[in-house]
Amino acid sequence: MNDAQNPAVTRLAHALRPEAGPALGVFLPAGFPNWTAGIDLLHSFAQRGAGVLEVGVPATSPVLDGPAISAAYDQALRQGVRMTHVMSTVRHAAESGAPVVVMSYWSSVSAYGVQRFADDLATAGAAGAMIPDLPLASMAPWLAAARTAGISTPQFIPRDVSDTDLSRLGAAASGWMYAPAVAAATGYQGALDLTGMQHFTRRLRSHAQHPLVAGIGISTPARARAIAPLVDGVVIGSPIVRPLLEQPGKPGHAQAMARVRQFTEALRDAAPLPHPRSTASP
């Protein structure tokens, strides 16, 4: 199977099409706050406007993540979450109708088995997987495995990426290119340089015509609204994870769902993309 034959890949492309306006992606680690509650929350997020669901593979050393997501990963691991739970979470989340993309660090993929990981994701109904710390030496094996399984390979693009690496990552990407709003760990709540982000997204669009998804540092609905005209989607994680950590049970669940609705409304009210992808300028 190739990705053109995977209905989840088609749903992802549909969610990120320019004429639809920027989509909201919501990130949640598998098994957090527990296995059943996490699945229920993912379905609730889709019902409240999330156009894409991103499922995280809990990791012991999440080098790109800040305190909130690191704590959520730790909680999931202490509760016994393993890759089998990730695949089950993907399968249940995909039943919501929203495309599901998995975010995993390379150590988890290599330990599980590269082809096995890709094949099991496809079987579970995932649209693809993003591996932000994918080593250059492992790029070809991962792309080959994903191509065989028929899933997308979204790519994380560092803010300081060289032109050479940007060309390589653009060629490797399918599904989306992930443009961090800041060069920081997840959960960043400091100032955003919107002018710098505008230059960054223009640079990405000049190298490849994939949808752009922004994340990291988009901590409020107002920030999502400000970033929205530059990208095709916005992914939030820490703003959802924090209330689930701070207020266990129904209060935290209610606040997380309310935040999804707030971000959805902010993106709905945002200005349209200034240029379609097909005419992106450097």
Query: Under a CB-based contact definition with an 8 Å cutoff, are residues 217 and 188 in contact?
Result: yes
Instruction: Quote the distance between the C-alpha of residue 102 and its chain's center.
Output: 7
| Residue 133 known to be catalytic | no
Annotated active-site residue 65? The verdict is yes
- What are 73's two structure tokens? 């990963």
Distance CA 239, CA 261 (A): 12
Rg of the chain in Å (alpha carbons): 17
The single residue listed with the structure tokens 């660090």 is 105
Catalytic residue among 3, 54, 119, 232: 54
- How far apart are alpha carbons 131 and 155 in whole angstroms? 7
Of 3, 40, 65, 246, the active-site residue reads 65
Rounded-to-integer distance, Cα 142 and Cα 222, Å: 37
- Residues designated catalytic: 54, 65
